[in-house]
Amino acid sequence: MDALIKVEPDIQQKLAILGAEAAEEQTDAPATQSIQRGIRHETGFIYGAQKTGGGTARLFKVLQTNACRFSCPYCFTSCAIKRQRTTFKPDELATTFISLSQQRRVDGLFLSSGIVPDADTTMEKMLGTVERLRLKEGYAGYIHLKLIPGASRDLIARAVELADRVSLNLEAPSQARLSELAPDKEFAGDMWGRMAWAAELIRRARAEGRPAARSLTTQFVVGAAGESDCELLETVQRAHRELGLWRAYFSAFKPIDRSPFSDQPAEDPARALRLYQSDFMLRDYGFRYDELPFDADGLLPRDRTPKQVWAERNLHDPVELNRASRSALLRVPGIGPKSADKIIAARREARLRDMSQLKALGVTTSWAAPYVLLDGRASAVQLRLW
């Protein structure tokens, strides 16, 4: 009988496998139209991520390996799912990225991984890739590095030192919910505890003037474990307060063929959009968690933004935009941080009297009109009756 010969995939084959599977990782809050139309922004292994100041950055999104010791029933890297497994060696992956960067095809790296054989070995391989880029290749551009649950403190410290952004996927809002999604993982220590280490290391490095990651993020799987929006956002608020979390990402559950959750229905992407909008309210708009418009089941409305629903219930007196404080402006639907700042700057030059002026300042006037006065006058609009 002939011996079985295993052929190692070449670089392009590894790239096709590990780049495609990395596309499952969320790196942006979706735009409303994109959510509604189901548009994806990935092109192979290159993803157009939104920059904080506007525009997009082309990130090389890839896994170090798609092999994993865990059997998480929702996850595409689960060891319970039969699929082709492969791994990038650190030098292979670094060389591949540098080639793409030199061709001006990518602006940065987003590196994640399955976990095999253990957390520290996986983290060491990922750090090997990043160290090759930073120390041998002299790459000074953007790197987002995932932290591995359960990794040792010195490895997390090295990640914080080398990357521009670090993140760890909490996946669920609590141990009870995590036990449904990832029964072999431990929420308090291996996941939240590692994020707390990263947050502490970032704060200490900044205080001492040393290089450190600029931000810390996380991601949740939405709709696979029966969690409510209330549970998710309570955990997010805690992460903002205790960890200095920069942003939470929400991935609407999609069943994977041959997985233990393959018969579960996909979650409505609109639910993820409402979670993003609520997180922005907590992070950027000055709202408290207990002000969010949850229903009796702890869920947010789907047909309108949470800020619109809050305004319908609470914003009974119209806001005079020529006098309102920035915090009051941010309570008005259709006015965000940028448009609030533009309103304040514009009214120093002249009084605002017309909706067309607001539209030019970036306000969504159809949302704002029922709740504002311009020089003492309301716009002729009809409020919702129910």
> What's the CATH architecture for 11-291?
Alpha-Beta Barrel (3.20)
Residues in the chain: 386
Query: Long-range contacts made by residues 288-295, C-beta under 8 angstroms, separation at least 24?
Result: 289/233, 289/234, 289/237, 292/230, 292/233, 294/228, 294/229, 294/230
pLDDT of 71 > 90? The answer is no
Between CA 216 and CA 213 the distance in angstroms is 8
Contacts of 219 (CB under 8 A, 6+ apart): 25, 26, 167, 169, 170, 171, 248, 249, 250, 251
The token pair at 87 is 């791994």
Of 41-50, 99-108, 311-320, 350-359, the poorest mean pLDDT is in 41-50
Amino acid found at 281: M
**pLDDT at residue 36 greater than cutoff 60:** no
- Specify the pLDDT at position 32: 44
Q: What is the pLDDT of residue 213?
A: 98
The yes-or-no verdict on residue 81 having pLDDT over 80 is no
Which residues neighbour 129 within 8 Å (Cβ) at sequence distance 6 or greater? 64, 88, 90, 93, 94, 97, 111
Count CB atoms within 10 A of the CB of residue 42: 16
The number of angstroms, rounded, from the C-alpha of 104 to the middle of its chain's C-alpha atoms is 25
Percentage of the chain modeled with pLDDT above 90: 75
CA atoms 132, 134, 136, 137: torsion sign = positive
Q: Could you report the per-residue pLDDT of 170-197, keeping only the tens digit for each?
A: 999 999 999 999 999 999 999 999 999 9
pTM of the model: 0.88
pLDDT per position as a tens digit, 219-265: 999 999 999 999 999 999 999 999 999 999 999 999 988 788 889 99
Residue that has been written with the tokens 């994020």 in this structure: 195
In terms of DSSP bridges, do strands 42-43 and 46-50 run parallel, antiparallel, or are they unpaired?
antiparallel
